[in-house]
Amino acid sequence: MFLRKSIQILKRFILYLFLFIIFFILVTNVWVILSTQSQVYKKADDAPYRPVALVLGTSNKLVDGSPNPFFQNRMETTKELIDLKKSKHILVSGDNRSKHYNEPSAMRTALIQRGIRKESITLDFAGLRTFDSIVRCKEVFNQDSIIIVTQSFHAYRALFISNHYGMKAIAIVADEPGTWKTIKVTVREFLARPLAVLDLYVLNTEPKFLGKKEKLNGL
């Protein structure tokens, strides 16, 4: 009798825990999106000026070795911002886990190929995740008035983190490829937003690397 009752209590607890997790995921997603959607711009022409464009990293290649459309579209959007004089300096921030995987260097190469001057680009090799890229932009590179360049599914979380740190951030969203790949990253982002809320309001997470402050050219 005791064992049966204990099992029932455990099952009820697991059910309530599962429902709470689902509720938390849904509520945090709604919070992140609704609190930042007014800061998202689909067209560079409509965006106000910000001195720095923070380009969030992703791999330039897919698993099969073909060009990553998410990467390519972010580079094209960044080039458009510079051409329209919506920003004057670019901070490319991403993962630099090995000599064979270097997001910031790949972004710089792609931007130079598109006609951007090397002197207008600064590399942040310690943007291991979105949280790190945003916080380092403010704390290491002393920039809080920025245009974030990424796709729309990612922009809300990046802005949510920026707002928490009192930054004057907006986002320009690059085109998303209409493929299964977009669905996969959107699902992943759906789970990443609750983790961002936990990082900011529960865990008080710090970037993995901070280090000394760095100055951007011309700023």
Q: What pLDDT is recorded for position 2? A: 66
> Is the domain 35-179+192-201 a CATH 3.40.50.300 member?
no
Going through 94-203 in order, the beta strands assigned E by DSSP cover 121-124, 145-151, 168-174
- Percentage of residues of the chain with pLDDT beyond 70: 97
Q: Is residue 1 over pLDDT 70?
A: no
For residue 116, the cross-strand partners are: none
Q: What pLDDT is recorded for position 133? A: 96
Model confidence pLDDT, tens digit, residues 34-65? 999 999 999 999 999 999 999 999 989 888 88
Q: What pLDDT is recorded for position 173? A: 95
For the chain, domain boundaries: 35-179+192-201
User: Could you identify the residue written with the tokens 């760095």?
Assistant: 214
Closest listed residue to residue 55, CA positions, set 7, 17, 99, 109: 109
User: Could you identify the residue written with the tokens 């607890």?
Assistant: 13
Mean pLDDT of the chain: 92
Q: What pLDDT is recorded for position 217? A: 75
